[in-house]
């Protein structure tokens, strides 16, 4: 956050320095945008093979084989969720929110991909449908499904308020992964990572550049849907902040469960192949 009153006077050429036009850091013209039509067509005749109801203020893990869809749905009331993804064969390969943000922007929607951490950097999942895509960006600069926040955690909560709270999304995801993979909590915690904030409405204030949240526009029946490019373990926490209109580490907010469904298509989407390696030659020492 920049100081309200700068400690240093602006130089004579301050106006021209500020007027320099921005350049996109990662031009994605060389990254073909997926054609969603084959994926949407592949849903015809699909079979639901699993479902998990994530209780309010808790998290659950779920498994998605490569070539399957999974869908997260609001079922009872406005609720946001924190999503982690891991390669089911190697927990070290996990969702990389920072690089996903650099490639696709601060908020994701249909046609965007979720990329894995270095040194893998390959597609983990493709977003195939988002019923909140109508929201776009509001007058405050807010939008839905962000990759700019981290996840609510007990350490930050204690730092800012001195409180001990055990149902932050970080804590919930740690317990869920520990149970799914039969790991000690201290080991599982090291695999929990920055999230896709599903249904959360966020942005940055224009005056101070601070991360803000506001009431999510999600309503029962809204969903976001993904197609798995590899065998995945997913972890989803129903945030203790409910719709995150006020706070997100508390037992005071109205919270609701989230539904995760996994679907097997009758046929593989035309042209789809499982995620390949990145292709970068690491023999040169990173």
274 touches 66 (CB < 8 A): yes
**How far is the C-alpha of 115 from the C-alpha of 92, rounded, in Å?**
13
Average pLDDT over residues 17-44: 93
Please report whether residue 80 resides in a domain. yes
**How far is the C-alpha of 130 from the C-alpha of 278, rounded, in Å?**
27
Q: Does residue 60 carry a pLDDT above 80? A: yes
Q: What is the pLDDT of residue 15?
A: 96
Number of domains present in the structure of the chain:
1
Biggest alpha carbon–alpha carbon distance for the chain:
67
Average pLDDT over residues 227-239: 98
**How far is the C-alpha of 156 from the C-alpha of 194, rounded, in Å?**
14
The vertex-112 CA angle with 108 and 114, nearest 5°, equals 85
Please report whether residue 168 resides in a domain. yes
Eight-class DSSP state of 234:
E
Please report whether residue 7 resides in a domain. no
Instruction: List CB contacts of 11: < 8 A, sequence separation 6 or more.
Output: 17
Sign of CA pseudo-dihedral 141, 146, 149, 151: positive
Q: Does residue 261 carry a pLDDT above 90? A: yes
CA distances from 118 to 52, 94, 99, 189, 280 (A): 30, 9, 9, 19, 11
Q: Determine which of 78-87, 113-122, 171-180, 242-251 has the lowest per-residue pLDDT on average.
A: 242-251
SS (H, E, C) 75-131: CCCCCCEEEEEEECCEEEEEECHHHHHHHHCCECCCCCEEEECCCCCCEEEEEEEEC
Average pLDDT, the chain: 95
Sign of CA pseudo-dihedral 3, 98, 33, 111: negative
Please report whether residue 78 resides in a domain. yes
Q: Determine which of 22-31, 95-104, 210-219, 258-267 has the lowest per-residue pLDDT on average.
A: 22-31
Residues spanned by the domain of 208: 49-270
Output the pTM of the full model: 0.96
Please report whether residue 121 resides in a domain. yes
Please report whether residue 163 resides in a domain. yes
| In the block, residue with structure tokens 């602006």 | 10
176 touches 63 (CB < 8 A): no
Q: What is the pLDDT of residue 249?
A: 75
Chain segment 100-138, per-residue pLDDT in tens: 999 999 999 999 999 999 999 999 999 999 999 999 999
**How far is the C-alpha of 143 from the C-alpha of 150, rounded, in Å?**
16
Please report whether residue 176 resides in a domain. yes
Average pLDDT over residues 87-108: 97
Q: Does residue 1 carry a pLDDT above 70? A: no
Q: Does residue 162 carry a pLDDT above 90? A: no
Please report whether residue 38 resides in a domain. no
């Amino acid at each position: 956050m920049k100081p309200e009153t700068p400690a240093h006077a602006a130089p004579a050429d301050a106006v021209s320095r500020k007027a320099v036009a921005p350049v996109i850091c990662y031009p994605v013209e060389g990254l073909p945008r997926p054609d969603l039509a084959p994926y949407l067509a592949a849903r015809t005749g699909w079979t639901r093979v699993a479902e998990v109801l994530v209780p309010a203020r808790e998290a659950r893990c779920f498994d998605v084989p490569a070539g399957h869809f999974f869908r997260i749905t609001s079922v009872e009331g406005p609720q946001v969720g924190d999503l982690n993804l891991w390669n089911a064969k190697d927990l070290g390969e996990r969702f990389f929110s920072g690089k996903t943000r650099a490639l696709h922007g601060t908020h994701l929607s249909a046609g965007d991909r979720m990329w894995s951490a270095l040194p893998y950097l390959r597609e983990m999942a493709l977003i195939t449908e988002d019923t909140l895509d109508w929201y776009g960006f509001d007058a405050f600069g807010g939008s839905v499904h962000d990759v700019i926040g981290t996840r609510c955690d007990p350490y930050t909560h204690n730092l800012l308020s001195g409180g001990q709270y055990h149902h932050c999304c970080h804590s919930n995801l740690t317990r869920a992964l520990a149970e799914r993979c039969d790991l000690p909590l201290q080991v599982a915690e090291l695999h929990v990572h920055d999230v896709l904030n599903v249904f959360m409405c966020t942005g940055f204030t224009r005056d101070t550049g601070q991360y803000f949240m506001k009431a999510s526009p999600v309503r029962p029946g809204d969903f976001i849907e993904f197609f798995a490019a590899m065998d995945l373990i997913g972890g989803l926490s129903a945030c203790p902040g409910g719709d995150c209109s006020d706070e997100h580490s508390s037992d005071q907010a109205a919270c609701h469960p989230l539904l995760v469904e996994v679907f097997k298509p009758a046929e593989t989407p035309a042209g789809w192949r499982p995620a390949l390696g990145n292709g970068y030659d690491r023999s040169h020492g990173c």
